[in-house]
């Protein structure tokens, strides 16, 4: 890999299980706080790649996980992480923070994939 990314930089507290952001793709931003996502609903078109940035404005470590799509980003307090997301089929997919207890505390949301 020839490029340094912010998430590689020192901390193991940031990462992604998603492809790198795709140049020119539409960008969407999700803010994580202790304990919510803003906005709680994300709308994206089916079959088109969007770049998702998780901005952690909370005091704790958070992630965004979409199990149905194998997508995940994580970031420690006051940092962000970005990755490319492509949902092939329309539908509603739950996302949440997988840090133990956070989902139960309110860190859940819905990804709406539009036809
Ligand atoms: Cu969390």
Closest CA to 61 of 22, 25, 100: 100
What is the 112 CA–ligand 1 centroid distance (Å)?
A: 21
pLDDT for res 16? 81
| For residue 63, cis peptide bond before it (omega within 30 degrees of 0) | no
Q: What pLDDT does residue 92 have?
A: 97
Could you read off the pLDDT of 97-111 as tens digits, one per residue? 999 999 999 999 999
Instruction: Indicate the SS3 state at residue 84.
Output: strand
Query: What CATH homologous superfamily does 6-114 map to?
Result: Cupredoxins -  blue copper proteins (2.60.40.420)
Dihedrals phi, psi of 102, to nearest 5 degrees: -75, -40
Q: Is the pLDDT of residue 10 over 60?
A: no
Residue pLDDT, tens place only, 74-88? 999 999 999 999 999
Please, what is the Cα angle at 85 between 57 and 12, to 5 degrees?
Answer: 50
Ligand 1 centroid to Cα of residue 64, in Å, is 8
Q: Which residues surround ligand 1, an ion (CB under 5 A)?
A: 62, 97, 99, 102, 107
Identify the band that residue 34 occupies on the pLDDT scale cut at 50, 70 and 90: very high
């Amino acid at each position: 890999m020839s490029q340094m990314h912010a998430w590689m930089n020192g901390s193991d507290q940031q990462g992604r299980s998603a492809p790198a952001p795709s140049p020119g793709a539409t960008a969407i931003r999700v803010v994580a706080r202790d304990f919510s996502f803003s906005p709680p609903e994300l709308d994206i078109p089916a079959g088109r790649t969007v770049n998702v940035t998780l901005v952690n404005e909370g005091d704790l470590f958070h992630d965004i996980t979409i199990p149905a799509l194998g997508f995940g980003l994580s970031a420690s307090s006051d940092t962000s992480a970005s990755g490319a997301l492509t949902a092939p089929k329309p539908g509603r997919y739950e996302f949440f923070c997988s840090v133990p207890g956070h989902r139960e505390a309110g860190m859940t949301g819905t990804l709406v994939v539009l036809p």
